[in-house]
């Protein structure tokens, strides 16, 4: 059973380290990518105003059933011997997301790259021939010339991919299409949710509509989620409110969105993936995975102490 918010071990019996993550389904296997935070919090870093751990890299875990995860190792490691490198341990590398490019036959990883004071605000890319890496880092950009912090990439059913990123010091969410090789951005930029400071974006599509869930902007502290609906990834986006119901609604059940996962072979079944951050000991942050219910355009996330994929069966 999924037991949201509790310790979740991999198939070697070690705590899964894949925070701020996302899941790729590829040829019958799920791959979970996330931040490896398997290190103590560090204090006294120049300019760092929030709790942090040194960057260790991006972890990957694989699974057939979404419950049992095999550690595939750190697929994009930190670069400790070059202090100027985007992936130096002293910096910030968060929210990795991987999509597969059928045209170039490459797995393309995007992630938030920053300085400890979050003023560098760029987006990094890395590529690999296999889902489990190793990924080759190809540098960071200021997408569409703008600052970029929390982000995600979304691949549409027609193969077009989009970058959603918190910009203008997180006040605005910018959305822009990726080039055909998924390594850069191109075309018009949508500015969504102006002034509402959305972070932790997660995007999915269902029955021809597009959905966005984001958190508010309170660092590691949990706040209320909000979702929006659009006819196309570039919008226009219409805010629909908090998808969570029941106790814990105002804090997203003590967690922060990171991804919405379509369950393979079950149209309309989605899992809401979130992080329950532990700011005092970030490596002990937990995962909150919950069924995400779609009823027309209405999105609902409710708490379950434990659940499995039968939650998506009719008439539960």
Footprint on this chain of ligand GAL (rule: CB under 6 A): 20, 50, 94-95, 150, 199-200, 217, 219-220, 256
Would you say 139 or 169 has its CB closer to ligand GAL? 169
User: From the CA atom positions of the chain, what is the Rg in Å?
Assistant: 18
Shortest reach from residue 221's CB to ligand GAL, in Å:
8
Residue 53's closest CA among 61, 62, 63, 43?
A: 43
User: Measured between alpha carbons, how far is 259 from 203 in angstroms, rounded to an integer?
Assistant: 7
Residue closest to ligand GAL when measured from CB atoms = 50
Cα distances (Å, whole numbers) of residue 142 to 59, 153, 155, 257, 258: 24, 15, 20, 23, 21
Task: Report long-range pairs for 245-249 (Cβ below 8 Å, ≥24 apart).
Answer: 245/300, 245/301, 245/302, 246/302, 246/303, 247/303, 248/303, 249/224
* Closer to ligand GAL by Cβ: residue 1 or 221: 221
Query: Is 121 or 301 the residue whose CB approaches ligand GAL more closely?
Result: 121
* Least distance between ligand GAL and beta carbon 20 (Å): 5
Residue 59 CB, shortest distance to ligand GAL, in Å, is 15
Nearer to ligand GAL, 155 or 170 (CB): 170
**Pick 95 or 125: Cβ nearer ligand GAL:** 95
By the 8 A CB rule, do 116 and 91 touch? yes
CA distances from 268 to 180, 207, 295, 296 (A): 28, 8, 9, 10
CB of 312 to ligand GAL, least distance (A): 28
Q: For the chain, how far is it from start to end, CA to CA, in angstroms?
A: 16
Residue with Cβ nearer ligand GAL (189 or 200): 200
What are 229's strand-pairing partners?
Answer: 211, 238
Burial class from Cβ neighbours inside 10 Å (0-12, 13-18, 19+) for residue 58 reads buried
Percent of the chain as helix, strand, coil, to the nearest 5:
5, 45, 50
Q: Least distance from C-beta 105 to ligand GAL, angstroms?
A: 30
Of 106 and 148, the one with the shorter C-beta distance to ligand GAL is 148
């Amino acid at each position: 059973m999924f037991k949201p918010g509790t310790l979740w071990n991999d198939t070697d019996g070690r705590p899964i380290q894949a925070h701020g993550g996302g899941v790729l389904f590829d040829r019958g296997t799920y791959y979970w990518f996330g931040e490896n935070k398997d290190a103590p919090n560090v204090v006294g870093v120049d300019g760092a105003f929030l709790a942090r751990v040194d960057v260790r890299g991006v972890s990957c875990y694989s699974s057939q059933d979404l419950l049992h995860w095999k550690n595939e190792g750190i697929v994009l490691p930190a670069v400790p011997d070059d202090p100027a490198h985007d992936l130096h341990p002293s910096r910030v590398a968060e929210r990795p997301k991987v999509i597969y490019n059928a045209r170039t036959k490459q797995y393309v990883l995007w992630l938030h790259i920053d300085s400890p004071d979050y003023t560098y605000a760029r987006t990094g890319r890395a590529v690999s021939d296999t889902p489990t890496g190793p990924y080759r880092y190809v540098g960071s950009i200021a997408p569409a010339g703008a600052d970029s912090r929390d982000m995600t990439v979304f691949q549409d059913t027609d193969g077009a991919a989009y970058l959603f990123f918190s910009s203008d010091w997180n006040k605005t969410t910018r959305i822009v299409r990726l080039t055909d090789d998924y390594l850069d951005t191109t075309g018009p930029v949508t500015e969504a949710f102006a002034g509402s400071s959305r972070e932790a974006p997660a995007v999915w599509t269902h029955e021809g509509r597009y959905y966005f869930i984001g958190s508010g902007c309170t660092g590691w502290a949990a706040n209320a989620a909000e979702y929006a609906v659009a006819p196309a990834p570039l919008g226009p986006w219409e805010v629909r409110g908090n998808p969570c119901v029941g106790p814990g609604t105002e804090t997203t059940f003590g967690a922060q969105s990171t991804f919405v996962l379509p369950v393979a072979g079950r149209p309309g079944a989605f899992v809401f993936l979130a992080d329950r951050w532990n700011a005092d000991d970030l490596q002990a942050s937990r995962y909150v995975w919950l069924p995400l219910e779609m009823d027309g355009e209405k999105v609902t996330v409710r708490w379950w102490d434990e659940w499995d994929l039968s939650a998506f069966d009719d008439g539960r």
